[in-house]
Amino acid sequence: MRVSENTNYILDNCRFCWMCRHVCPIGNATGQERNTARARALAVSMVSRGAEKLENVVDNLYECSLCGACTNNCMTGFDPKEFVQTVKTQAVLEGCIPPYIADLLKKYAETGNVYGAKADGSLSPLFGKKSGTLFLAGQDALYCAPGCVKEALDLLSRAGVEAALDEKACDTGAAMWFLTGKTEETRAAAEACAKILNGYRTVVVYDPADLKLLLHEYKEWGIGVHAEIVGFNAFLLGLIRGKKLGVKKGKNVYTVQDNYAYARDLDDTETVRSLVECAGENREMLLFGKEANLAGHLVMRTYMPEVQRAVALKRWENANNMECRTVVTENPAEYVLLKETCPEGSRVISVEEMLLENL
Amino acid sequence: MNDFLFTQVLTELEDAIGRENCSTKEIDRVTHSVDYFWLSRMWADRGRRMPEADFVVSPKDAQEVSKVLKIANYYKIPVTTWGGGGGTQGGAIPVAGGIVLDTKRMDKIYDVNTDSMYVECGAGAIYKHVEWAANEKGCTTMHYPSSLTCSTVGGFLAHRGIGVVSTKYGKIDDMALKLEVVLPNGDIIETSPAPKHAAGPDLNQIFIGSEGTLGIITKAQMRIYEQPESRKFRGFLFKDMHSAFLAAKEVLQKFKPSVMRLFDEAETVSLIKKIVGVQKPGAFMTLAYEGPKELVEVEEKIVLSVFGKYGAEDLGSEYGEKWWKEKITFFYPGHMLDIPQMFGTMDTIAPYDKIEKIYWAMKKAIETQFEHVKFIAHFSHWYEWGCMVYDRFIVEKEFVPEDPAEAMRLHNRIWSVGVRAALENGGVVNDHHGVGLKLGRLMKEQYGPAMQVFEGLKKSLDPNGIMNPFKLGL
Ligand SMILES: Cc1cc2nc3c(=O)[nH]c(=O)nc-3n(C[C@H](O)[C@H](O)[C@H](O)COP(=O)(O)OP(=O)(O)OC[C@H]3O[C@@H](n4cnc5c(N)ncnc54)[C@H](O)[C@@H]3O)c2cc1C
Ligand code: SF4
Ligand code: SF4
């Protein structure tokens, strides 16, 4: 296996370091030693040394959600995500990706999305609207949480924004990036997406995973997007502050499930809290803000559903310990997984649901 | 084990605890073969595979542990318990193959009991998670080792671990109220309902420190404490270690600071200068006292007056605060000691009338018997009667043999020389990292005929010798 010097440097530092294991949502949910940054690094470093075969340990790379809790926790600034992604690309090149990942790639090739799904029929009337503003729902929302898409568009419409919805634009390359790293396929998806986005003046990005890709990776890969890119939360806050959306502050207590991409990659933990403050009171649970703990990942759910349930249940434990009964999500994956595991007496609502119930 | 029997055992394990909780995959075997022991890390660094388990199992509770142990006993298969793998003595390495039993699925927090001030939790809980649970109720565990985020409740108990505020709050063995243990034959037992009693010897203390050789701890009640209203730091520079010892002993007859760390002159110059920024020669001591504000103020007065008597230079609170903030930074890669250097921590403990002698004897033994081996130390974890010395040896990479077997020989020789120097002068094999594979050979040298008590326990509880073979000298 040939990886860059920098990747080997991270591997060699993480492989004998135990310090960030306690924040790994997958490690905490499974209790498995292999679900730690150090174990992953150790296994791959053994491949680098010719003492292990990549195909024997490759599955382990796909057990990492890339949530970056380890990176955030690391006092020396190492980023295990870097080697996870580099080695995934290497696995693609060496033809040794696990069969369940190959299946997802096949589905993607056939249908344009890794879920092999078609957009929900109820969304049909929403496609084809002409507007200078595109609502980029993202593939997770489009194929796994169509209700969220409808509500988000409904909320925008109440503020007088009739945004367009485009199925093709939903593929920012995020799924391919997650599965294969920086491959030709990921780049092709990103370029195709950028072309569509450039047909609009403003793009409101619903899923922070897409937003992060557009703002970070696209830049790094030299893919230009001229349209104005705005995160959904920030767009909503703008509408409220511009008095286009009248939200009444109620008595409800909400708890934010910070999404890792917003909190860590985009360094934005405040916008969602400002939205919550418009609608009610905010109560924090353990691991909030930059320390955000993952509550679920939809692509991973396709090949490790039980683990994703366990991840979400762990998050409910955090919420319940602080008597946080209404959890507000800011991305479709965590919304879906928290909803599926919601204990009696608690509820999960998306940001748009929260605002809709306080108009 | 032949393929046929291997598959038979695997199916029985799967039947006992579920297929998804039994693994024979490379990834699980490899990651459970390298712990925090320098030798296992060095071996892997040189691209060599460590001894691996045949099966890695993750039971969820005592009942499942019991089933695994019954199977293991029937087939006479070794069982090595693995908590966080953060141990430094090779205790969790499955040197004899067989089963690695990972405890981390036993991580449930059953109760944060603020009436009686304890947390009841699974022994596989990472201690930081126990701390979080206590914090959620406004309390704290007061167990703050540098590996708080790395290691488990069971692992700390098994190695008699220690945190930085132990001088006031005690070691892990002082913090356990009650344990649930699965014996090698699969019986599930509970220790006494209260830790202090006159109902015979202390069952807790038989299993605490037994390193998975006598049974597997599956649940524990661990003490929690109120968050201190005030915690104050103060740094002092003594002209030499001896005056620092006299001053510290005198303070400890009056009250217990939470932190008390005295760095020898070599460590003051190297580590402390680099990280905390102290520029002067001497022996640096950092202290913290904590609790209700009024008491803390009185304690500070006592320290200033006693330390003043011994000529300590008051460095104010800045150094102590800085150390507190940076105390775990030392343990991240690139900050302290790391492969390819060779290093080890030979912590030992003794009464005040011996501890200084031990320090000098160990230093002399290491520095005179080995060329290019550096020796530094600090003294932390103090009692009214004595204290612990945390001494380290360091061999820079250019002096570490290329050949891993040669490197192992040098490593083991240094350890034997250092620990023997401690033993000959009234110290013990180890203070808080345990014995494991690393120091098993020296246990008989410390205990002499007393070792038969441990051997007797081992023989009667584990007649087939399946529990963590080659560890603890048993
Ligand atoms: C960065 C770092 C810093 C450290 N700093 C400190 C420190 O400040 N203070 C300190 O005391 N130690 C420290 N250590 C050492 C380590 O944290 C302790 O030795 C700890 O006790 C190991 O616990 P573990 O869960 O990692 O156990 P493991 O390494 O998995 O196992 C250690 C031993 O305990 C046995 N064992 C584990 N769980 C059980 C159980 N449930 N029942 C019976 N036996 C069991 C194993 O078989 C093995 O023999 C540090 C380690 C690291 C990596
Ligand atoms: S990311 Fe940092 S804390 Fe985590 S294993 Fe790597 S070096 Fe250690
Ligand atoms: S990125 Fe997230 S899932 Fe991956 S190792 Fe780090 S903490 Fe775990």
Q: What is the CATH number of the domain that holds B17?
A: 3.30.43.10
Neighbour-count burial of B426, counting CB atoms closer than 10 A to its CB (0-12 exposed, 13-18 middle, 19+ buried): middle
Confidence of residue A351 (pLDDT cuts 50, 70, 90): very high
**Would you state the pLDDT for residue B473?**
97
Question: Given B40, B75, B102, which residue is the final one in a domain?
Answer: B102
Q: Please say if the pLDDT value at position B277 is more than 90.
A: no
- Which range marks the domain in which residue B199 is found? 109-226
| B359: nearest Cα among B236, B245, B209, B237 | B245
**Would you state the pLDDT for residue B274?**
63
CB-based pocket (< 6 A), ligand 1: A 18; B 35-36, 80-88, 91-92, 103, 123, 145-147, 150-152, 154-156, 158-159, 161-162, 211-212, 216-217, 331, 432-434, 436, 468, 471
Percent of chain B with pLDDT over 90: 89
Mean pLDDT of A230-256: 97
Domain assignment present for residue B466? The answer is: no
Measured CA distances, A336 to A149, A276, A325, A342, B397 (Å): 13, 20, 17, 10, 52
Our separate counts of H helices and E strands in chain A read 20, 8
**Would you state the pLDDT for residue B323?**
81
CATH of the domain at B270: 3.30.70.3450
B217 and B114 share one domain? yes
Mean pLDDT of A288-314: 98
**Would you state the pLDDT for residue B125?**
98
Confidence of residue B316 (pLDDT cuts 50, 70, 90): confident
Segments of B22-153 assigned E as strands: 22-23, 55-57, 79-82, 99-102, 109-113, 118-122, 139-140
**Would you state the pLDDT for residue B334?**
82
The residue behind tokens 């511009």 is A242
**Would you state the pLDDT for residue A175?**
98
Q: Please say if the pLDDT value at position A171 is more than 80.
A: yes
Q: Which contiguous run of DSSP H or E holds residue A81? A: helix A80-93
Instruction: Report the SS3 class of residue B351.
Output: strand
d(CA B412, CA B407) in angstroms, rounded, equals 9
Q: What is the DSSP secondary structure assignment for residue A262, as one 8-state letter?
A: I
**Would you state the pLDDT for residue A172?**
98
B219 and B283 share one domain? no
**Would you state the pLDDT for residue B273?**
67
Q: Please say if the pLDDT value at position A165 is more than 80.
A: yes
Angle between helix A37-48 and B38-45 (nearest 10): 40
Contact state of B44 with A322 under an 8 Å Cβ cutoff = no
Domain assignment present for residue B474? The answer is: no
Percent of chain A with pLDDT over 90: 98
Cis peptide bond N-terminal to A25, omega within 30: no
**Would you state the pLDDT for residue B335?**
79
d(CA B310, CA B249) in angstroms, rounded, equals 12
**Would you state the pLDDT for residue A85?**
97
Mean pLDDT of B103-118: 98
Percent of chain A with pLDDT over 70: 100
Question: Is the reported ipTM for this assembly greater than 0.90?
Answer: yes
Confidence of residue A2 (pLDDT cuts 50, 70, 90): confident
Q: Please say if the pLDDT value at position B269 is more than 80.
A: no
B17 and B61 share one domain? yes
The tens digit of pLDDT for each residue in B384-398 reads 999 999 999 999 999
Mean pLDDT of B288-296: 98
**Which of A31, A39, A43 is nearest residue B124 as measured by Cβ atoms?**
A31
C-alpha B129 to ligand 1 mean position (Å): 15
Judging contacts by C-beta atoms under 8 Å, the chain A residues touching residue B149 are 18-23
* Ranges of H-type helices in A94-168: 99-111, 139-144, 146-158
Select from A18, A23, A26, A283 the residue whose CB has the most chain B CBs within 10 Å, as the one to mutate to test that interface: A18
- B126: CB partners within 8 A, 6+ apart: A21, A22, B84, B104, B107, B149, B150, B151, B152
What the block records as the tokens of A44 is 């791959």
Domain assignment present for residue B465? The answer is: no
Q: Please say if the pLDDT value at position B124 is more than 60.
A: yes
Confidence of residue B276 (pLDDT cuts 50, 70, 90): low
The residue behind tokens 């007496």 is A345
Domain assignment present for residue B32? The answer is: yes
CATH of the domain at B393: 3.30.300.330
B194 and B178 share one domain? yes
Measured CA distances, A73 to A287, A291, B327 (Å): 12, 8, 15
Neighbouring C-beta atoms of residue A187, cutoff 10 Å:
18
B309 and B365 share one domain? no
| B275: nearest Cα among B428, B378, B363, B385 | B378
**Would you state the pLDDT for residue B270?**
66
CA distance B112 to chain A (A): 11
Backbone angles phi, psi at A138, to 5 degrees: 85, 155
* Ligand lying closest to the C-alpha of residue B149: 1
Q: Please say if the pLDDT value at position B257 is more than 90.
A: yes
**Would you state the pLDDT for residue B290?**
98
Q: Please say if the pLDDT value at position B98 is more than 70.
A: yes
Cα-Cα end-to-end distance for chain A: 56
Chain A residue with Cα closest to B41: A16
What's the pTM value of the predicted model, to 2 decimals?
Answer: 0.97
CATH of the domain at B165: 3.30.465.10
Question: Given B102, B130, B149, which residue is the final one in a domain?
Answer: B102
The tens digit of pLDDT for each residue in A92-112 reads 999 999 999 999 999 999 999
Q: Which atom of ligand 3 is nearest to the CA of A67?
A: 2
B220 and B253 share one domain? no
Cα-Cα end-to-end distance for chain B: 24
Q: What is the DSSP secondary structure assignment for residue B403, as one 8-state letter?
A: S
Is-contact B44 B34, C-beta < 8 A? yes
Domain assignment present for residue B77? The answer is: yes
Neighbouring C-beta atoms of residue A161, cutoff 10 Å:
19
B222 and B235 share one domain? no
Question: Given B280, B303, B331, which residue is the final one in a domain?
Answer: B331
Q: Which atom of ligand 3 is nearest to the CA of A37?
A: 5
Domain assignment present for residue B270? The answer is: yes
| Pairing relationship of beta strands B225-226 and B139-140 according to DSSP bridges | antiparallel
The tens digit of pLDDT for each residue in A26-66 reads 999 999 999 999 999 999 999 999 999 999 999 999 999 99
d(CA B69, CA B56) in angstroms, rounded, equals 13
d(CA A288, CA A259) in angstroms, rounded, equals 9
B113 and B222 share one domain? yes
B306 and B413 share one domain? no
C-alpha B430 to ligand 1 mean position (Å): 14
Mean pLDDT of B90-117: 98
**Would you state the pLDDT for residue B381?**
96
**Would you state the pLDDT for residue B135?**
97
The residue behind tokens 């306080």 is A358
B321 and B392 share one domain? no
* Ranges of H-type helices in A118-257: 139-144, 146-158, 174-180, 184-197, 208-212, 218-220, 232-241
Confidence of residue B377 (pLDDT cuts 50, 70, 90): very high
Q: Please say if the pLDDT value at position B330 is more than 90.
A: no
B144 and B206 share one domain? yes
The tens digit of pLDDT for each residue in B4-24 reads 999 999 999 999 999 999 999
Is-contact B222 B119, C-beta < 8 A? yes
* Ligand lying closest to the C-alpha of residue B65: 1
Is-contact A309 A74, C-beta < 8 A? no
**Would you state the pLDDT for residue B278?**
62
Q: Please say if the pLDDT value at position B271 is more than 70.
A: no
Segments of B60-125 assigned E as strands: 79-82, 99-102, 109-113, 118-122
Mean pLDDT of B349-359: 97
**Would you state the pLDDT for residue B280?**
78
Q: Please say if the pLDDT value at position B84 is more than 90.
A: yes
Lowest average pLDDT, out of A13-22, A122-131, A220-229, B325-334, goes to B325-334
**Would you state the pLDDT for residue A137?**
98
Q: What sign does the CA torsion over A151, A152, A154, A158 have? A: positive
DSSP collapsed to 3 states, B240-265: CHHHHHHHHHHHHCCCCCCEEEEECH
B261 and B317 share one domain? yes
CB-based pocket (< 6 A), ligand 3: A 23-26, 37, 64-70, 80-81
What the block records as the tokens of B311 is 């000529």
Domain assignment present for residue B469? The answer is: no
Mean pLDDT of B87-94: 98
Q: Which contiguous run of DSSP H or E holds residue B380? A: strand B373-382
Q: Please say if the pLDDT value at position B445 is more than 80.
A: yes
Segments of chain A assigned E as strands: 133-136, 164-165, 202-205, 228-231, 253-257, 281-282, 326-329, 347-350
Judging contacts by C-beta atoms under 8 Å, the chain B residues touching residue A47 are none
User: Mean pLDDT, chain B, as a whole number?
Assistant: 96
Q: Please say if the pLDDT value at position A231 is more than 60.
A: yes
Mean pLDDT of A195-205: 98
* Ligand lying closest to the C-alpha of residue B431: 1
Domain assignment present for residue B190? The answer is: yes
**Would you state the pLDDT for residue B337?**
86
**Would you state the pLDDT for residue B8?**
98
d(CA B93, CA A47) in angstroms, rounded, equals 21
The tens digit of pLDDT for each residue in B157-193 reads 999 999 999 999 999 999 999 999 999 999 999 999 9
C-alpha A185 to ligand 2 mean position (Å): 30
Neighbouring C-beta atoms of residue A303, cutoff 10 Å:
17
The tens digit of pLDDT for each residue in A205-215 reads 999 999 999 99
What the block records as the tokens of A4 is 């860059």
Looking at the structure of chain B, the number of domains it has is 4
Contact state of A31 with B333 under an 8 Å Cβ cutoff = no
